[in-house]
């Protein structure tokens, strides 16, 4: 039987695999029923319908390749919740023009154990750098930057 840290690390890897294969239902299965994804700048997608909309945005890409590493998992003393941080690199190729998108950043997740399965309750995506993205709403970046010390 997997430890909580092993199960959460596996969930992070499964997310990358499922989103790269554009298996939206499989991605949704990794999230709690009331789970959320904070895309930054106040754009928070909650619940399966909003998450489906968010993950549906991946359709504009012919291919994606998501990679996580430097994974840190802290399980709460209760044993039923945990927090994780994982470094992210994501590569995308747009269908329309074959242009490339590169994203470097971190996932900050809160997991909950439901029926013995660790599910993402809350994900926050914060970015160190991005290339080829198309910012929205007049912002300089598409994604909210990862906070840095000075």
65-76 pLDDT, tens digit per residue, is: 999 999 999 999
Give CA angle at 127 (125, 132), nearest 5°: 115
5-22 pLDDT, tens digit per residue, is: 999 999 999 999 999 999
pLDDT band at 134 (very low <50, low <70, confident <90, very high): very high
- The H or E element that residue 26 is part of is helix 24-28
What topology does CATH give the domain 4-131?
Answer: Nuclear Transport Factor 2; Chain: A, (3.10.450)
Give CA angle at 105 (122, 102), nearest 5°: 120
Q: Domain limits of the chain?
A: 4-131
DSSP labels, 48-62: HHHHHHHHHGGGGEE
């Amino acid at each position: 039987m997997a430890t909580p840290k092993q199960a959460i690390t596996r969930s992070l890897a499964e997310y990358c695999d499922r989103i790269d294969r554009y298996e939206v239902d499989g991605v949704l299965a990794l999230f709690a029923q009331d789970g959320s994804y904070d895309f930054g700048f106040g754009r928070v997608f909650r619940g399966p319908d909003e998450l489906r909309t968010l993950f549906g945005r991946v359709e504009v890409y012919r291919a994606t390749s998501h990679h996580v590493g430097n994974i840190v998992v802290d399980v709460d003393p209760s044993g039923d919740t945990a927090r994780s941080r994982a470094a992210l690199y994501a590569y995308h190729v747009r269908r329309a023009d074959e242009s490339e998108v590169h994203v470097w950043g971190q996932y900050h997740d809160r997991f909950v154990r439901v029926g013995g399965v660790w599910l993402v309750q809350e994900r926050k995506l914060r970015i160190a750098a991005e290339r080829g993205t198309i910012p929205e709403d007049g912002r300089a970046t598409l994604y909210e930057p990862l906070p840095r010390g000075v």
